[in-house]
């Protein structure tokens, strides 16, 4: 065997290679266990002593050259990328993969989780209810007769073929469900979706989220409601906010109040976010109406309780300075990635 003719053959062979598979065959032909280079080095012991050194060096140089040629060819075949062929399959197992983008929790779910965590620390349990409700649970049980004017405030989607079923317009029907199925003392928060046929704009959506909360026990007072809500509001909006209770009307609470916090943007001085009022409305609340207790079979002489309900989107918008509710539902990643 003559190293020079091998070199010539080598060049012709490498030129002809057009696939990673052919390159692997080439590698085996020259560098394999029974390949040409192995054959050459096998000859060394048969040579006269004084020729062995030189021959060995040339065989080694040939091996180096073959490795270079393989590496070059491989780069050329894999589009200029420096990769390694893995075995006979020709698949390049070292090529970088296509990274999967990790998702994360939606900002509304983050706010729901945060609020629920505050209330669970205060001893509340989390309870959920169905989005399709009965008229009784959504209205009647909550002391809202069907012809009562307050019902206008809860414009409602009714199910077409089941006129007694509707998409709940607030989370308060879960008060009825929980009070019927459990015995006081109760301390419950209810996160969930609610529906109202509102035209969609920057501050309205036909679907949004509420968190309801209520406590029922033998000696619950309005001051308990104030204490719980103040703890909640400071945990969400910071310790330096002020709160105020504004008299209001809800059929299922008496007395009722809307709760405002001092504007977190202008600190109460008056700005465009709070409409120059210095206050932001965050939730509705009150002492549970005795008629609600009567509807669920709880004795209003023995038990009292408070309830409150807040809109999650509103809290999230105030907390993060978001000015359009539609952003939550459009799945625009440029928005969602900010949370």
Show Cβ contacts of residue 16 under 8 Å, excluding neighbours closer than 6 positions.
Answer: 22
Q: Which two tokens stand for residue 67?
A: 């490795």
Q: Minimum Å distance from CB 331 to ligand PHE? A: 26
- Residue partners of 325: CB distance under 8 A and separation at least 6: 202, 203, 204, 205, 208, 313, 317
Q: Is 222 helix (H, G, I), strand (E, B) or coil?
A: helix
- Of 13 and 131, which CB lies nearer to ligand PHE in the complex structure? 131
Q: Are strands 207-217 and 186-195 parallel, antiparallel or unpaired?
A: antiparallel
Distances (CA, A) of 322 to 66, 224, 267, 268: 64, 31, 17, 19
Q: What's the min distance (Å) between Cβ of 209 and ligand PHE?
A: 11
> Which single residue brings its beta carbon nearest to ligand PHE?
309
Minimum distance, C-beta of residue 177 to ligand PHE, in the bound complex (Å): 14
Minimum distance from residue 299 beta carbon to ligand PHE (Å)? 21
Q: Which residues contact 27 (CB under 8 A, 6 or more apart)?
A: 66, 70
Question: Smallest gap, in angstroms, from Cβ of residue 293 to ligand PHE?
Answer: 14
Minimum separation from the CB atom of position 337 to ligand PHE (A)? 31
Closest CB to ligand PHE among residues 154, 237: 154
**Non-local CB neighbours of 21 within 8 Å, separated by 6+ positions:** 88, 90
Q: If DSSP codes are grouped into helix, strand and coil, which group holds residue 339? A: coil
Q: Toward ligand PHE, which CB reaches closer, 307 or 315?
A: 307
Nearer to ligand PHE, 77 or 229 (CB): 229
Cβ-based nearer residue to ligand PHE, 184 or 213: 213
Rounded least distance, CB 121 to ligand PHE, Å: 21
33 φ/ψ angles, rounded to the nearest 5 degrees:
-60, -35
Query: Smaller CB distance to ligand PHE: residue 69 or 236?
Result: 236
Contacts of 285 (CB under 8 A, 6+ apart): 225, 229, 245, 253, 256, 257, 258, 259, 306, 307, 308, 309
Nearer to ligand PHE, 137 or 172 (CB): 172
CA distance to 8, 117, 226, 278, 317, per residue, from 268 (Å): 89, 28, 20, 4, 18
Q: How many other β-carbons are positioned within 10 Å of the β-carbon of residue 163? A: 9
> Which CB, 21 or 156, lies closer to ligand PHE?
156
- Tell me which residues touch ligand PHE (CB under 6 A): 170, 172, 212, 250, 253, 284-286, 307-309
CB of 98 to ligand PHE, least distance (A): 46
């Amino acid at each position: 065997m003559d190293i020079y003719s091998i070199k010539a053959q080598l060049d012709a062979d490498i030129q002809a290679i057009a696939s990673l598979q052919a390159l692997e065959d080439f590698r085996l032909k020259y560098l394999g266990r029974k390949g040409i280079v192995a054959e050459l080095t096998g000859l060394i012991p048969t040579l006269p002593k004084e020729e062995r050194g030189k021959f060995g060096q040339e065989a080694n140089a040939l091996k180096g050259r073959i490795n270079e040629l393989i590496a070059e060819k491989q780069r050329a075949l894999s589009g200029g990328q420096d990769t390694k062929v893995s075995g006979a399959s020709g698949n390049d197992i070292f090529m970088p993969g296509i990274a999967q983008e990790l998702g994360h929790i939606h900002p509304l779910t983050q706010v729901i989780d945060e609020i629920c965590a505050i209330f669970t620390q205060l001893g509340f349990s989390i309870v959920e209810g169905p989005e399709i409700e009965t008229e009784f649970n959504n209205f009647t049980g909550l002391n809202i007769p069907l012809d009562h004017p307050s019902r206008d405030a809860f414009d409602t989607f009714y199910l077409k073929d089941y006129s007694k079923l509707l998409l709940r317009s607030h989370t308060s029907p879960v008060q009825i469900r929980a009070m019927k199925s459990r015995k006081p003392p109760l301390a419950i928060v209810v996160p969930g979706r609610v529906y109202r046929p509102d035209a969609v704009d920057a501050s309205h959506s036909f679907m949004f989220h509420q968190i309801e909360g209520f406590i029922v026990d033998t000696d619950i007072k309005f001051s308990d409601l104030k204490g719980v809500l103040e703890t909640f509001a400071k945990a969400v909006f910071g310790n330096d906010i002020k709160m105020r209770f504004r008299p209001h009307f809800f059929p299922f609470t008496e007395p009722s109040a809307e709760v405002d916090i001092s504007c977190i943007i202008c600190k109460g001085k008056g700005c465009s976010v709070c409409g120059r009022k210095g206050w932001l409305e965050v939730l509705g609340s009150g002492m549970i109406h005795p008629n609600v207790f009567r509807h669920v079979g709880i004795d209003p002489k023995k038990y009292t309780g408070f309830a409150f309900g807040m809109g999650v989107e509103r809290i999230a918008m105030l907390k993060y300075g978001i000015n359009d509710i539609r952003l939550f539902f459009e799945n625009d990643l440029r928005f969602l990635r900010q949370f």
